[in-house]
C-alpha cells in the first residue's frame, strides 16, 4: 500500500472497516487516485461510504414497504408475515 493510501486509510472513518475501505478504494479509478492527495481520497471514500449506507437504508425501507426483506445469506426475498 502506498504512503498516500496508508494516510487516507488512517484519515477516513471507513478506515475502521478494512474490507469496505478496500472495496471503496477499488471503485475509484487509478487516474483519479493519482491526482488526489490522501486527505481528498479519505473525504471521497467517506462520502461514498455515506452514500452506500443511505442507499442500503432506502432499499431496506422499500423492501419492508413491499412486505418483505432481502435475505442476503440465502439470496432471496422473504415475505413478512403478520403476527
Supply 68's cell numbers.
Answer: 418483505
Query: What pLDDT shows up at residue 63?
Result: 73
Contact residues for 10 (Cβ-Cβ < 8 A; gap 6+):
none
Q: Please, which pLDDT band fits residue 24 given cuts at 50, 70 and 90?
A: very high
Q: Quote the pLDDT of residue 54.
A: 86
Within 8 A by CB and 6+ apart from 47, the residues are: none
**pLDDT tens track for 52-73:** 888 888 887 887 787 887 788 8
Q: Looking at the predicted structure, is the pLDDT value of residue 83 above 70? A: no
Residue 76 has what pLDDT? Answer: 86
For residue 77, the cross-strand partners are: 70
Q: What angle do CA 5, 14, 53 make, to 5 degrees?
A: 135
Amino acid at each position: 500500500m502506498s504512503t498516500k493510501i496508508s494516510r487516507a486509510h488512517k484519515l477516513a472513518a471507513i478506515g475502521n472497516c478494512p474490507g469496505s475501505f478496500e472495496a471503496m478504494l477499488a471503485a475509484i479509478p487509478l487516474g483519479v487516485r493519482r491526482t488526489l492527495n490522501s486527505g481528498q481520497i479519505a473525504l471521497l471514500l467517506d462520502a461514498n461510504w455515506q452514500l452506500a449506507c443511505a442507499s442500503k437504508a432506502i432499499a431496506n425501507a422499500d423492501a419492508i414497504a413491499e412486505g418483505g426483506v432481502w435475505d442476503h445469506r440465502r439470496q432471496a426475498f422473504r415475505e413478512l408475515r403478520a403476527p
